[in-house]
Every structure is written in structure tokens, then in C-alpha cells.
Amino acid sequence: MEQLKGRSLLTLSDYTKEEIDYLIDLAIEMKRERRTSKRLEGKNIVLIFDKPSTRTRCATEVAAYNEGANVTYLTNSQMGGKESIEDSAKVLGRYYDAILYRGSSQKIAEDLARYSQIPLYNGLTDEDHPTQVLADFMTIKEHFKRPFNELKMVFVGDGRNNVANALRIGAAKMGINFVIAAPKELVSDGAPWEEDPYQAVKGADIIYTDVWFSMGEEGKIAERLNLLKPYQVNMELLEAANNKELIFLHCLPAFHNLETKVGLEVFEKYGLEAMEVSDAAFRSDYSLVFDQAENRMHTIRALLVATLGN
């Protein structure tokens, strides 16, 4: 698709339904082929991560290497400290063919794209997470034979977070019936909303959740637990959808047991063995979370090839 050449991905709002469909189909084709290529040979990509990462970093590096590109994981740079974002971006634009940014600020992502004059991929900001949603939609398309506009997706939890916002944008583009199940305190203005999670999930095809507090929000744990305990995705809630084809998605990491430092601390202080999803629901037959995680790599690879490929 020629119009994708040289394009950034700051938000899915900037892409058409046809362009999103193309990226998903290309990712599915690449997954099926399972081969390396040289479509990005000679290309150099810099990863700028101001927040921790497992899937986004690993998926991007593997995707780039499998297409012949070189990757720099930039740490301890002067950007934003001794050097302005503008100046740093102009320098990086002379060295690299693309940037993947993961950090707090959507404005920094936009400024990097503006001043570098090379494609910028949003690997997560506090406002948006478009590369995650590409993987989510790929997972959905692999599972369902029905088109997107015949599917219902319910996001259960903090309806104001970046993933909920990115899903809302993507669902509107693709025609998915999208509903947020959340307490009124955690819903963005104008979002399609239902306060009762059991009412919301009736007839759902996809139930999606995310952590109850994001990176940098650890001070809000008590407040979020109080608001969101009724919104845990558990087997009872999954079965309330009354849909044998139902799938459960989670962008990960997930607090579904006591095998994490944070999960154990929350258990010791508040007595919760799991937070946004129960261990049974996370491991159930409904759950496609590891297919979804794998698809981060395939969709990022498709994005790189479509926008940078030779």
C-alpha cells in the first residue's frame, strides 16, 4: 500500500479502516510464512524508551532483525535534559530511518516525529497505545470468521487509561461495537459506558482488561482497588457473556496471581490474590493473551515493512 510509505503511527485516528485492515492482513501473512527477509536491509531504527518494556522492545527488535534492519536501544541520552527534544530529534533524523518512542508524553512523540522528519511509531504514551491495538485486532481477526462490524468488545476496568482510549479509537475505525464497563469516576467524557459489568458483557464477543494502575500511578493503588474490585474479570463475568466463541484479551503484564513483587505487596496489604483478572480466567480456554502477545511482533513487523520497506 503505497500511501503508507514514510508514514508515522502516532495514533490510529490518523489511519483509515482500509490501511488498518492492510496492516493486519500483512501481519497475518507474515506470521503464516515464518521466514526472514531483507525488506528492511540497510535501515536503521532507534528505540527511545522512557518506560519499562518487555513485549514492545522485544517485538520491535525481533521484527526489525528478521527484516534485515539495525536497531539502537537508546539509553542515557541528553534528550530533554541537556538537549531539547527538537534538537535531539533533528540529530536522530540525520542518523536513522525511523524512531519508536515509548514514554509518558504524547506531545514528545509528536515533536519527535515533527522535528526528525522520519517515521515515528508510538510504542505507548499515557494517552494512546496504537501498536498494541494492531496486535489486538490481528488476534480478533484470526479467531472470528465474522467481520469487525459484527463484533462486540467490552473493556472492563479503568476506562480512562491509554489502552482503553486506543481501543476506543480503533473500534470506531473498524466498526466494532465497543463498550466500557467501569465506575463513573474512571470513564472519559463521551465514551460508550455501562456501570454494571455484568450488564455490559451480555452478548460480548471480546472481553478485555488491563492493569488497574499504570506505570507511575503506584500511589493510587488503594483508591483504584476500592473503585475497581467489582470489575475483576473472573470466570463468573466471562460466563455472563453467554457466548461460546468469547475471547479474553489482556495487553500484559497481568496481576493474576502472587508471582510478582507488586501482586504480593498488594496481597499482603489488601488481601487480594489477584487484581484485574483472576488466575482461573487468565488461564481459561477463553484466554488468548499469549497469542495476542506474540502478535505484537507480527504487527510491528508489518508496520515497519509497510512504512519503511524496500
Q: What is the pLDDT of residues 117-129, one digit of tens each?
A: 999 999 999 999 9
Does the annotation count 205 as an active-site position? no
What's the pLDDT at 76? 82
* Confidence (pLDDT) at 75: 85
- Active site annotation includes 210: yes
pLDDT of residue 6: 98
- Whether residue 247 contacts residue 206, with contact meaning beta carbons closer than 8 Å, is answered with yes
Closest CA to 25 of 298, 292, 308, 269: 298
- For residue 272, the number of C-alpha atoms closer than 13 Å in the C-beta half-sphere is 24
State the Rg of the chain over Cα.
Answer: 19
> For residue 143, which phi and psi values (nearest 5 degrees)?
-90, -40
Catalytic annotation, pick one of 132, 168, 205, 256? 132
Catalytic-role residue among 7, 55, 129, 298? 129
Judge whether residue 278 has pLDDT over 70.
Answer: yes
Q: What is the pLDDT of residue 215?
A: 65
Q: Is 197 helix (H, G, I), strand (E, B) or coil?
A: helix
The total number of residues shown for the chain amounts to 310
Active site residue 168: no
* CATH code for the structural domain at 145-244+247-285: 3.40.50.1370
- For a pLDDT cut of 90, what percent of the chain falls above it? 94
Q: Is the pLDDT of residue 25 over 70?
A: yes
Statement: 2-128+296-308 belongs to CATH 3.40.50.1370: yes
Report pLDDT digits (tens) over 137-184.
999 999 999 999 999 999 999 999 999 999 999 999 999 999 999 999
pLDDT in tens, 198-251: 999 999 999 999 999 876 777 889 999 999 999 999 999 999 999 999 999 999
Catalytic residue among 55, 168, 296, 298: 296
Q: Do domains 2-128+296-308 and 145-244+247-285 have the same CATH topology?
A: yes
pLDDT at 219: 81
Residue 235 confidence (pLDDT): 98
Among residues 129, 139, 134, the alpha carbon closest in space to that of 205 is found at: 139
Mean pLDDT in residue range 64-86 = 94
Q: Listing from the earlier edge strand, what are the strands of the sheet with 98-102?
A: 70-74, 44-49, 98-102, 120-122
Choice among 128, 224, 251, 298 that is catalytic: 251
132 labelled catalytic:
yes
Contact call for residues 137 and 174 (beta carbons, < 8 A): yes
Q: Which of 102, 224, 298, 301 is catalytic?
A: 102
**Cβ–Cβ under 8 Å, residues 21 and 39:** no
Mean pLDDT, the chain, integer = 96
Domain residue ranges of the chain, discontinuous segments joined by +: 2-128+296-308, 145-244+247-285
- Quick check: 305 and 26 in contact, CB under 8 A? yes
Q: Who contacts 74 (Cβ-Cβ below 8 Å, separation ≥6)?
A: 46, 47, 48, 49
What does the CA dihedral 7, 129, 254, 300 come to, rounded to 10 degrees?
A: -10
Which residue is catalytic, options 210, 292, 298, 301? Answer: 210
Residue type, 253: P
Asked if 232 is an active-site residue, the reply is no
